[in-house]
Structures are given as C-alpha cells and as structure tokens.
C-alpha cells in the first residue's frame, strides 16, 4: 500500500492506494481512502503528519511507501524566505563575461541569495579542444574569500552539460577552502545548454538546499509518528511528474519546483484513465491548465521563469486563468491541445463541478472520481525518475548508437541516484531532435523510471 | 538607444526576423542591456551624418543560437574585432552597422557599439533575416564580402579575402563548424558613403516602431489550427481567423523563415516580404520552430527594402530561392 500526500496552500490531501507496495504503479491502482485536512501555515511537515494521521491506523500500518508533494521550495522562493546565501562561481572567464552572474534578477531576490560572485577562466565546448583550462588558484581564492560567509556554492561552467570535469574539480577546491560540509551544486547536473538559464537554476538550487535539508530532517524525525510499515520508503515529488528520495531532494532541491502541478496533471490522467489529455485543475480562484503526454506532464518550452528569473528546469507547461472565466478557460484548454484532433479534457480540483460541460464545447470532458485529490494521487502512483540529454555531432567515426546507449545509461543512473531500484529501472529513449543552424548536431534524450529501492 | 528603447527594439527585431534569425534575442538582449549599463546609451545616426569615406564595421553572430546561448561571449570581442578590421583597412572604424536586423543580431550590434563607444547606423544589411550570409543588400549592390573577419570569444581569428558571396557562405560555415558552432563576424566592410547609398536605411527606427506596435495593422488575428513539418526544412502552418476574422483561413509556408502567407490561393505576402506570427499573449514574434497548435497569433506582414523586389533581389532571395513554387513575384525595376 502507498500513501500519497499533497501539501497545498490551504488544504493538505492524503490518499491511500493499493499499489502492491512497490511503487511504479501505472494503472489498476485504486484510491482506498482520501482525506483532506487544513494546512498549517509555514509547517509543511506538520500538515503532512496531520493528513496521514487522518487515515485509518490499521491501513497506514500496511503502507510500504510514502510519497509527498511538500511545495516548500516554491513557497520559499515566492516569499524570499529561508534562502541560503550562495557563492556563485562561473567557469568561463573572459570568454563568457558579456552578462554577469545574477544579471536581471529581481533585486530583493538577488540580495536574499547572493553571497558573492566570481567568473574564473575555464570552460568547455562542443568538442574536447574547444575549451580552456580551469584557473584553480582563482577558484581557491574565491572559496577562501567566501569561507564562513557563503552557506552554499553554485558552480556553472561553460558547456558543463557536455563535460562536467571542471565543475567537479572546482567543487573539490571550494570544499577544501570553505569547509567540507558546505553544499556545492553543479550546473551540469541541473540543466542543459543555455548558460544563463542553467546558472540561474543552479543558484536557485543552492539557495534552497539548507531549507530542504531542514525539512527533510523534520520529515525523517516525524516518520515514527506516522505508524507506517517498518522500513517504508519515503519519497518526494519532482517537477517532471516523478519522485525522488529525500537524499536526492537534499542534493537537488530545484527538482521539486513546480512539482505540485506536475503531480496534479499526472494524477488527473491516472484517475481519468487517459495517458494523453489536457488537464484543468480548477481551484477556488484560479484554474491551471496543463497537458499530459504519454502519462507525464508536458514540459514548458524555453523562456520559463521561476521567481522572476529565467531558468532551464523541466517544469510543466501551464496556463493560468481565473476560475470563473469560462471563456478564458476554454481558450486555455484549446491552446494546450497538441493538434486539432482534440484530446479529452480532465477536470480536477475542488472547483471542477462549477465548470459545466458546455463551457468546453466540442471537448470530451472527463470528471474522475477523487479528482479533488489528484495531486496526492499523482504522488502516490508515480515512479522514481531520472533523465539525461546531450547534444552530439554526428560525423564520420561517430557511433550514434553507442552515444544513445550511453545517454540511456546515464538516465538510468540518474533514476538510481534519485532512489530507484537498479534492478527494476526501465528507460525510454525520446526521439532525437535537430539543433537549428548546427548542421549534423542532434539532441539525444532519455528518461528512466523505476520503483523505489526498498529499505 | 538606452535600456528602455532596447526592449521595444528587441521586440521589433523579432518581428523583422520573419520567424528566423535565431529567435527573439533571449541571450543578446541581456548582453546589450549590460553593455549599455556599463558603457552608456548608444548614439544612433544616419549614414549621411558621417563623412563619406570613413570606415563602417558591420557586425553579427553566425552559427547556432543554441551554442550562442552557452558561449555568451567576451566583452573584449568588439575591441579585438575593431583592431583587426582597422589593421586590414589602415583607417579607424567610425561606426557600427547591423549585419542582420531580424532576430538576435540587432541586439548584438547594439552591445558592440556601446562597448566600442561608436555610433550605430540607423540601417542594416538585410532589413530582415535571411539564412545565408550573402543574402544581403550589399551583395546586391556589388560590394565585396572581403576582407571578412571571423572570430571566436578567445580571439582566434580567420580572415576571408578574395571571396564572392557564395564562397563567403561556404568558407564561413566551415570556419564556424571548426569554431564549435558559433562565431562573431564582420563581412562586407564599407564606407559611410556606401552605407548611405546601399544599406537598408532606417532599420533601427523601424524595429523600435514595430516593437511599439506602430506598424501596419495585422492581416489576420487567429489561432494556429495545424502545423505540419513536411520535411526537414519545410513547415506548413494553418491559421484560422478568430473574432472579427472568423471564417478566414490562411496558410503560412516556412523554411528557416516564413516565406509565404496564402488565402484562397492568393498570396497575402510572399518572400522577401516580412511575415511574422506574433503571440497575442506575450507580444513577441514566434520563431518557426516554436509554432504549435493552439497559439493565438496576429499575422503581421511588412514590405522589405525596395531593392529586394528587383530582378537581382528576387533571384537572390525571392520565392524560387526558397523553393516556393506556384507563387511568383513580378520584379519591380
């Protein structure tokens, strides 16, 4: 049995699923119980405990997995609260200095986050010879300068998604100078090409790490109170609609940004029995519309922002309209359709009943039972996930199949690092994408899914 | 040009990109913003305000926008490029010319002019965006591309000399591939007098006006009702009119850029006309590769510089040059 929890701004939902106890449920699971309790302001773990305790004790005792959408990271960024002071290290030097780190950030967010920035020589390119050697001394000086002042570091090297060696080396130097316990977040593990957006995402990650570590500690401490089965796995939601372990959340807190809507979209699809659909989550005041593609939320394209900052994160694509503005809702639903052959529309959320079918003309409307707890259901019924992508240049002597296998293996490794059972991970190679104006270049992408490793 | 005008300018450049030109300046706009912040606003002048024989340096980025987003470049590049160009010509550079106003290169030139403390000509070499380097009005005027200077952000430099337009395109692409997919370029060097006679005049002013929505009214307001990528290079978009335009259906054909807008078999606009689909929600023109079903757009068309409609202009960048068949343009003398 699995418990899924969604800590919302006003209410916290918990559902209990008969998922066989191993996670990775993709169908056939039933919600046995669903409860809703008021959320405790500023206390996500307390809200979670209250919701789980509202489930019958004898059923809880059979739960082998708890999957939680805490939404603490989103809230912290919105409120600029609980953020760490981050030392931002760019590795690119004079070859990458036309836009300085944190340029264009809202001033109060930058002030809340920035402990200092440096841009040191180094960085890579599309090929191994395109880069420059790392200025280790400059990294050491930056580490020493910020020792005791920076609570975390964000490191972003030019072309790190293709080769993360210099970032790892810099992390070692920073730890030697500023303390072995200081978290160091590396951009190559966060995002893909696009230096500024990836750097921003890395800084947000570093800024969130103390907060999520504290929440993870609180959650771990609260576990004995919940009365779950011995050795139950605890997972949290991420923004691609999959799950990760608490340890992975500590390493990459930014993965949890946007996970609330992601789980709702995925849960809506599972509850409605559809893998491709438009999902409208109707709240009291706002309706959020997203799309479900092959069972997972459709990602936002480039140009996504979090907290006013352009970032490269795989957050779900969403359109937000007023809940009562049915014309706007119909337009948003149409915009999220992938083609004129209309997909069904799944209506979930507390306000779903207030939207009459005639507000969405021509649409096949699905109103699943338990649609009010789609987020908690999505958390309970999702696997642990991982992904990897890489730009490669096809050419003579370049074995693309071998690279595809490697990308697949790295996606698998990502899922295992996030807490998946290595024996049961399956991978999915996405179609290759071409890169505009870069002849012969392909973007290879793979995703991986698996049930959590039992404790 | 200060930071306030820059935002309108970038928006206008996206429209003039006609769906291409490397997208709406996600990287180069902040580059220009920071350059203006550090070095002050850029003076925009007409070529006629400068002495006839002073040297004008055209600038732009070539290669992959995806790589340009990663390799954001060095603040030292403009000075190095100027030094190289001045050494080749033996005279100082007096002004900067935008090679391609459409897409991300308009903001690049603004950044370079700011860093060099040079005026920016209210002009450019295309009046829009085209995929090839030799598809520009200076080529049509019979100017030579060389010496063309290509450089990466480390200062590695290649000079192409004694090349014609097609050779420039071929050699420059090979250099860009060796540079890892991205380079800064200064091609078709010229004097202020030549710029006054041959470049597309008023491009900067026009981009700012278009960015402020002061252009002609949209041809159609509607939604993208289908997108079909017919092969690697060609995309076909159907627009369904909404509101006052309900019932109208317009087909838009694209290659790297939008090349034709057709209603009831009649061309509403045809390359070299500028054809842009502007997202009604964001106000930004959408690149060809990001067009998808359901987008609510305004179809905006603008005429290009008159020389593009001459016989030579159409041969270089008319419908046939983009493989558009069945729709032809009459050359204007």
Do B162 and B15 share a structural domain?
Answer: yes
User: Are A411 and A387 in contact, with CB atoms under 8 Å apart?
Assistant: yes
- Cβ atoms of residues A18 and A42 within 8 Å: no
Q: Closest Cα to residue B41, out of B121, B115, B123?
A: B115
B262/B115 same-domain check: no
ipTM tops 0.90:
yes
- Answer yes or no: do B261 and B197 share one domain: no
Mean pLDDT, range B25-32, rounded to an integer = 84
Residues of chain A with pLDDT under 70: 19-31, 302-303, 340-341, 394-398, 436-437, 455
Q: A residues 272-331 near B, CB within 8 Å?
A: 301-303, 310, 331
Same domain? For B167 and B302 the reply is no
Q: Does B225 touch chain A (CB under 8 A)?
A: yes
Whose tokens are 């608490």? That residue is: A246
Residue span of the structural domain in which B197 resides: 3-211
Question: Best interface-test mutation with A: which of B31, B32, B181, B229 has the largest number of A CBs within 10 A?
Answer: B181
- Chain A contact present for B293, CB below 8 A: yes
- Classify B69 in phi/psi space as left (phi over 0), alpha (psi -120 to 50) or beta: alpha
Q: Is the CB of A435 inside 8 Å of chain B's CB atoms? A: yes
Beta-sheet pairing, B148-151 with B120-124: unpaired
Q: In this structure, are B91 and B189 located in the same domain?
A: yes
User: Is B35's Cβ below 8 Å from some Cβ in A?
Assistant: yes
Please list every residue in chain B whose beta carbon sits closer than 8 Å to the beta carbon of residue A335: 223, 294-296
Question: Measured between CB atoms, does B174 come within 8 Å of chain A?
Answer: no
Instruction: Name which of A98, A103, A301 is nearest B74 (Cβ-Cβ).
Output: A98
Domain parsing of chain A, residue ranges: 2-77+235-380, 85-182, 384-450
pLDDT-derived band at B232, boundaries 50, 70, 90: low
Q: pLDDT value at position A308?
A: 83
Q: Is there a domain that residue B181 lies in?
A: yes
* pLDDT band with cut points at 50, 70 and 90 for residue B153: very high
**Amino acid A24: pLDDT:** 40
Check whether residue B199 and residue B164 sit in a common domain. Answer: yes
Angle between helices A195-226 and A44-53 (to 10 degrees): 40
Total beta-carbon pairs less than 8 A apart between chain A and chain B: 112
pLDDT of residue A38: 96
| DSSP helix/strand/coil, A386 | strand
Q: Which residues of B touch A437 (CB under 8 A)?
A: 22, 63-65
CATH number reported for the structural domain that contains residue B33 in this entry: 3.40.1610.10
**Contact check, Cβ <8 Å, A335/B296:** yes
Contacts with A441 from chain B: Cβ below 8 Å: 64, 66, 181
> Is B200 found in the same domain as B269?
no
Rounded to 5°, angle at Cα B181 from B176 and B184: 60
Residue numbers in B near A127 (CB within 8 A): 180
Number of structural domains chain B divides into: 2
A153 touches chain B (CB under 8 A): no
Is the same domain home to B118 and B246?
no
Contact A335 B232 (CB under 8 A): no
Q: Do B70 and A158 touch (CB under 8 A)?
A: yes
Quote the Cα angle for A143-A141-B78, to 5°: 110
A339 near B CB under 8 A: yes
Say yes or no for a CB contact (<8 Å) between B70 and A194.
yes
User: Using CA atoms, how far apart are residues B324 and B328, in angstroms rounded to an integer?
Assistant: 8
pLDDT confidence of residue B43: 98
Q: Is position B327 within any domain?
A: no
Q: Which residues of A touch B29 (CB under 8 A)?
A: none
B329 falls within a domain = no
Phi and psi angles of residue B75, each rounded to the nearest 5 degrees, phi first: -70, -15
pLDDT digits (tens, 9 = 90+) for B260-312: 999 999 999 999 999 999 998 888 999 998 898 888 999 999 999 999 999 99
Whether residues B271 and B291 fall in one domain: yes
Which stretches of B199-232 are DSSP H helices?
203-211
Look at residue B142 and tell me if it is in a domain: yes
Query: Cα separation of A151 and A137, whole Å?
Result: 21
Find the mean pLDDT for residues B165-170: 96
User: How would residue B120 be classed by pLDDT, with cut points 50, 70 and 90?
Assistant: very high
Residue A440, pLDDT score: 72
Show the 3-state SS of B41-70: CCCEECHHHCCCCCEEEEEEEEECHHHHHH
């Amino acid at each position: 049995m699995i418990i899924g929890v969604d800590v919302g701004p006003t209410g916290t939902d918990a559902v209990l699923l008969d998922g066989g106890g191993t996670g990775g449920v993709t169908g056939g699971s039933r919600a046995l119980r669903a409860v809703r309790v008021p959320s405790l302001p500023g206390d996500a773990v307390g809200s979670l405990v209250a919701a789980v305790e509202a489930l019958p004790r004898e059923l809880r005792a059979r739960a082998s997995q708890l999957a939680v959408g805490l939404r603490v990271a989103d809230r912290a960024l919105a409120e600029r609260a609980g953020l760490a002071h981050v030392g931002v290290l760019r590795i690119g030097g004079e070859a990458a200095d036309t836009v300085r780190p944190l340029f264009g950030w809202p001033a109060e967010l930058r002030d809340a986050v920035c402990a200092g920035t440096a841009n040191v020589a180094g960085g890579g390119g599309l090929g191994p010879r395109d880069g420059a050697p790392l200025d280790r001394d400059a990294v050491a000086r930056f580490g020493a300068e910020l020792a005791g002042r920076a609570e975390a570091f964000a490191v972003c090297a030019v072309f790190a998604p293709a080769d993360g060696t210099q970032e790892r080396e810099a992390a070692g130097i920073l730890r030697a100078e500023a303390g072995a316990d200081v978290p160091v977040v590396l951009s190559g593990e966060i995002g893909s090409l696009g230096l500024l957006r990836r750097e921003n995402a890395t800084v947000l990650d570093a800024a969130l790490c103390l907060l999520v570590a504290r929440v993870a500690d609180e959650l771990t401490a609260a576990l004995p109170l919940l009365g779950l089965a011995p050795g139950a796995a605890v997972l949290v939601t991420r923004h691609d609609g999959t799950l990760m372990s608490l340890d992975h959340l500590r390493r990459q807190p930014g993965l949890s940004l946007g996970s609330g809507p992601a789980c709702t979209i995925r849960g809506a699809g599972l509850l409605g029995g559809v893998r491709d659909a438009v999902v409208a989550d109707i709240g009291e005041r706002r309706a959020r519309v997203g799309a479900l593609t092959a069972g997972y939320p459709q990602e936002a394209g480039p140009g996504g922002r979090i907290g006013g900052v352009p970032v490269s994160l795989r957050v779900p694509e969403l359109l937000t309209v007023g809940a009562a503005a049915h014309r706007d809702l119909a337009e948003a639903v149409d915009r999220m359709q992938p083609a004129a052959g209309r997909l069904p529309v799944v209506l979930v959320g507390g306000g779903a009943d207030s939207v009459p079918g005639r507000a969405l003309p021509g649409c096949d409307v699905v109103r699943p039972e338990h649609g009010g707890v789609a987020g908690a259901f999505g958390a309970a019924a999702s696997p642990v996930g991982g992904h990897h992508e890489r730009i490669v240049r096809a050419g003579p002597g370049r074995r693309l199949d071998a690279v595809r296998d490697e990308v697949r293996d790295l996606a698998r490794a990502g899922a295992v690092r996030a807490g998946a059972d290595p024996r049961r991970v399956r991978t999915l190679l996405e179609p290759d994408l071409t890169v505009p104006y870069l002849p012969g270049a392909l973007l290879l992408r793979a995703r991986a899914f698996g049930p959590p490793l039992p404790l | 040009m200060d930071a306030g005008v820059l935002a309108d300018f970038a928006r206008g450049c996206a429209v003039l990109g006609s769906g291409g030109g490397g997208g709406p300046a996600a990287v180069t706009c902040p580059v220009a913003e920071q350059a203006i912040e550090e070095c002050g606003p850029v003076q925009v002048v007409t070529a006629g305000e400068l002495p006839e024989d002073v040297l004008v340096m055209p600038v732009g980025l070539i290669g992959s926008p995806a790589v340009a987003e990663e390799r954001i470049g060095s603040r030292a590049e403009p000075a190095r490029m100027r030094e190289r160009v001045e050494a080749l010509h033996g005279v100082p550079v007096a002004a900067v010319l935008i090679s391609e106003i459409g897409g991300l290169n308009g903001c690049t030139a603004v950044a370079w002019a700011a860093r060099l403390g040079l005026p920016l000509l209210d002009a450019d070499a295309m009046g829009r965006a085209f995929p090839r380097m030799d598809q520009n009005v200076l080529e049509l005027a019979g100017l030579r591309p060389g010496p063309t200077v290509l450089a990466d952000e480390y200062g590695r430099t290649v000079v192409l000399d004694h090349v014609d337009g097609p050779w420039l395109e071929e050699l420059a692409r090979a250099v860009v591939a060796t540079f890892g997919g991205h380079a800064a370029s200064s091609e078709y060097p010229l004097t202020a007098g030549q710029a006054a006679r041959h470049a597309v005049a008023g491009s900067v002013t026009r981009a700012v006006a278009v960015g402020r929505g002061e252009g002609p009214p949209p041809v159609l307001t509607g939604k993208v009702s289908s997108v079909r990528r017919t092969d690697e290079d060609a995309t076909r978009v159907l627009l369904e009119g909404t509101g006052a335009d309900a019932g109208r259906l317009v087909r838009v054909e694209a290659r790297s850029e939008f090349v034709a807008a057709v209603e009831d078999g009649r061309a509403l606009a045809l390359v070299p006309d500028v054809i842009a689909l502007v997202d009604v929600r964001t106000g930004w023109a959408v690149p060809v590769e990001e067009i998808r079903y359901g987008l609510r757009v305004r179809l905006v068309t603008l005429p290009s510089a008159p020389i593009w409609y001459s016989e030579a202009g159409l041969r270089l960048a008319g419908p046939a040059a983009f493989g558009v068949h069945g729709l032809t343009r009459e050359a204007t003398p």
